């Protein structure tokens, strides 16, 4: 297991691949992003990891010895406790056509990896997994109490798009420490506008230089009801601006902007 020292994100990711280089390299990338990463060399080991600690998302290679990816998926989905865990298939076969819903897969990630795209997909999968999982309290569960620490208030969801990964992690941490649930990524994915419509976030922060920013702003502007959602396009510099951009924004500026937006609850 690889444990992150950054503490930037919450979430556990299981990486299943028989290639040592893939496990080590990709495992380190995910760990640096702030996830707790479990590693498995085949489907048999992966099932053991899942039962030991339920992951929020799984990255799975199809071609493996012993128990391959398809066999692992069948075994995983046969257990009700793990039937809803998001699974992303990793494949070196470009243009691979799969009926994702039939085999219980949420995404396909092609090798060699586009790291930003992969991290974006993992972030969305982990967020959806954690939000959809009900919290169960048993008579044996205890919650540690720190007397001098105030309880963190849940202040709503913030969607953050920032092309610079270091800046993204720093701003993500600041917003999270202020009580916001942050969905962060380095570029706007195609499905992000649909996610925004479902989440109705307190605010959307968009770095003007992130890929897909213009398209996302245009898509949201054309959607009925979304004109009331606070969307701030900001810039760290003076180039490549979009009209209405907050120029030379600092993290403090952006946190203050989100705090100034009235709280709203997503529809049930």
* Domain residue ranges of the chain, discontinuous segments joined by +: 12-132, 157-260
pLDDT above 60 (res 141):
no
Is a pLDDT exceeding 70 seen at residue 66?
Answer: yes
Residues 6+ apart with CB under 8 A from 173: 7, 8
Cβ-count burial of 111 within 10 angstroms (0-12 exposed, 13-18 middle, 19+ buried)? middle
- Euclidean distance between CA atoms 82 and 50, whole angstroms: 8
Place of tokens 């994915």: 189
Do 12-132 and 157-260 come out as alike in CATH topology?
yes
Statement: residue 56 has pLDDT above 90: yes
Tell me the mean pLDDT in the region 244-268.
Answer: 78
The CATH label, of 3.20.190.10, 3.10.105.10, 3.30.830.10, 3.40.50.2300, for the domain at 12-132 is: 3.40.50.2300
Using the predicted structure, report yes or no on whether residue 32 has a pLDDT greater than 60.
yes
Q: Is the pLDDT assigned to residue 125 strictly greater than 60?
A: yes
More confident of the two residues 133 and 47: 47
Residues of the chain above pLDDT 90, percent: 19
Q: What is the pLDDT of residue 145?
A: 35
pLDDT at 161 over 70: yes
Residue 46 has a pLDDT of 95
Band of residue 87 on the pLDDT scale cut at 50, 70, 90 = very high
Which of 35-44, 142-151, 154-163 is least confident? Answer: 142-151
pTM (2 d.p.) = 0.61
- Other residues' Cβ atoms within 10 Å of the Cβ of residue 7: 10
User: Helix 20-33 vs helix 115-132: angle between axes, to the nearest 10 degrees?
Assistant: 70
CATH class of 157-260: alpha beta
What would the pLDDT profile of 74-86 be if each residue is shown by its tens digit? 899 889 999 889 9
Confidence of residue 59 (pLDDT cuts 50, 70, 90): very high
């Amino acid at each position: 297991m690889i444990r992150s020292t950054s503490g930037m994100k919450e979430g556990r990711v299981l990486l299943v691949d028989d290639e040592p280089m893939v496990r080590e390299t990709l495992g380190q990338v995910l760990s640096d992003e702030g996830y707790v990463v479990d590693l498995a060399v085949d489907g048999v080991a992966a099932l053991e990891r899942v039962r030991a600690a339920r992951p929020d998302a799984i990255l799975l290679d199809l071609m493996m010895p012993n128990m391959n990816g398809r066999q692992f998926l069948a075994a995983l989905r046969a257990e009700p406790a793990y039937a809803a865990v998001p699974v992303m298939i990793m494949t070196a076969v470009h243009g691979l056509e799969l009926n994702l819903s039939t085999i219980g897969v949420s995404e396909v990630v092609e090798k060699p990896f586009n790291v930003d795209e992969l991290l974006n997909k993992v972030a969305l999968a982990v967020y959806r997994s954690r939000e959809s999982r009900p919290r169960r309290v048993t008579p044996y569960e205890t919650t540690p109490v720190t007397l001098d620490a105030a309880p963190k208030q849940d202040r709503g969801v913030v969607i953050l798009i920032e092309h610079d990964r270091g800046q993204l992690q720093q701003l993500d941490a600041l917003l999270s420490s202020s009580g916001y649930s942050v969905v962060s990524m380095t570029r706007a994915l195609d499905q992000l506008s649909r996610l925004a419509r479902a989440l109705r976030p307190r605010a959307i922060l968009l770095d003007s230089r992130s890929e897909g920013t213009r398209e996302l702003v245009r898509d949201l502007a054309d959607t009925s009801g979304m004109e009331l959602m606070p969307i701030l396009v900001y810039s760290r510099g003076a180039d490549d601006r979009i009209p209405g951009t907050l120029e030379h924004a600092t993290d403090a500026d952006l946190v203050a902007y989100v705090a100034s937006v009235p709280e709203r609850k997503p529809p049930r």
